[in-house]
Structure formats: structure tokens, C-alpha cells
Amino acid sequence: MGSGTLKRMRVLLVEDERRLADLMKTGLAEEGFAVDIANDGVEGLWLAGENAYDAIVLDVMLPRLNGYAVCRQLRDAENWTPIMMLTAKDGEYDEAEALDTGADDFLSKPFSYVVLLARLRALIRRGGRERPAALTVGDLVVDPASLTCRRGETTIPLTPKEFAVLHALARRPGEVVSKAELLAQAWDFAYDGDPSIIEVYVSALRRKIDAPFGRTTLTTVRGAGYRLEAGR
């Protein structure tokens, strides 16, 4: 085994070029990394959600779900594992979009393995991003760190799904959030049930965060989605 200082750091490699993925896994394993491989975006997203990794190396061009979508969905799900995206050669727009969707670093193909190793080690040393602070919409406080909600000084008990829907709305106060966006953030990419389930959870949220306080902060925008406002 190599003399790498990061022993048994666990890395997820999402790369559809199987030969390249195998070569990278072999090289990283020799440096003391434990490496899981996913060959498409859907598998990569599932593995990232099911396991704790020290870093994710994520190709942009992937079958089934591209790297940008994988990165965005992980961040929307509050997964702050450091992500290095592998972009096209001289692809400045790829690099910009990689950072915009929540990646922490990028490396253009073709790349030197020595550079990959150095950048990956630096990325792991920096660690994941800090968890976001509590979100405040008027006197409604939604805290993703503790999974709690309160209006003023009153704590409001929510189910995990209710919290997920409310958190997705609170991240964009005053904006219309579609049913599709709420499903993607509060359920998962593979959900194929009835989209009207969102209406059930929105109704439940209104009964908890609005009705007892005489508010109408969670409104329906017909044909478009839902909006959470500071309060009326």
C-alpha cells in the first residue's frame, strides 16, 4: 500500500467510463482509500444517500442522471459531502455550472492522477460545508439542524415529511415552488406515485403553522404551485 496519509478514507466515484473508473479505484486504493464505484447518476445518487463518504468524485456526463442533477439533488437533500466534479476539457461553462450546483471543486479531463490525488486530499482536509443556519420566514423558524419548527416561541411538532415540504418552501420565501420541485426535494428522484400527495401535506402544514395562529402564510398559486410568505 502507498504512503498516503489519509488511511481508509471512503470515496464514492461516479464515472460511466468503466476502464477509467477501475484505474482510478486501483490507484486510490493503493493510497489507502476505500472506493465505491457507481456507473450512472441514479446509482451514484442512491449510494451517496445510503452511505457516509469523505468525498464524492462525480463525472458531469453520466447516463440516466447527469452530474449536475446528482450534485443539486444531494445539496437539496442537505447532503454536504465534499464533491469534486470531472468536467470536459476547457469547459469553462461546465466548471461554472459545477460550482453553481453545489460542487466544491472541479477537475478537467484529461487530468493527471497526481493532481487528482492532491486535489482530493485537499478537498477532504477542508471537509464538508457547514450545515445551513435556521431559516426564518417572518416569525416562523425552520431549523434543519435539529429538524424543528416554531412560530414565535411556540414549537410546532411536524412529521419528517411535513418538515421536508416546509423546509423546501422556506428555502425560497415569497417564491412559487411547484409540486414537481417539492416532490424532488421532499421525496426522492425515483418517486412515481400520485403528485397530489403534496396537497395532503400542504393542508396538514396549514393546520399546524397557520390556522392556530390566525395566519395565511402558506398559499396556493393555482396551476403553478405553493408559496410561503412572511405572514398576513
Residue 3, pLDDT above cutoff 70: no
Q: Which residues contact 71 (CB under 8 A, 6 or more apart)?
A: 58, 83, 85, 98, 101, 102, 103
Q: Do domains 10-127 and 135-228 have the same CATH topology?
A: no
Does the pLDDT at position 190 exceed 60?
no
Q: What is 135-228's CATH number?
A: 1.10.10.10
Give domain limits for the chain: 10-127, 135-228
Give me the CATH topology for the region 10-127.
Rossmann fold (3.40.50)
pLDDT tens sequence across 100-110: 777 888 888 88
Quick one: three-class SS letters along 111-133? CCHHHHHHHHHHHHHHCCCCCCC
Backbone angles phi, psi at 82, to 5 degrees: -60, 135
Q: Please, are residues 55 and 123 in contact by the beta-carbon 8 Å criterion?
A: yes
pTM of the full structure: 0.55
- The model's pLDDT over 58-106, given as tens digits with 9 standing for 90+, comes to 999 899 999 989 998 898 887 889 999 988 755 555 666 667 777 888 8
Least confident of 35-44, 47-56, 95-104, 148-157: 95-104
Percent of the chain with pLDDT over 70: 85
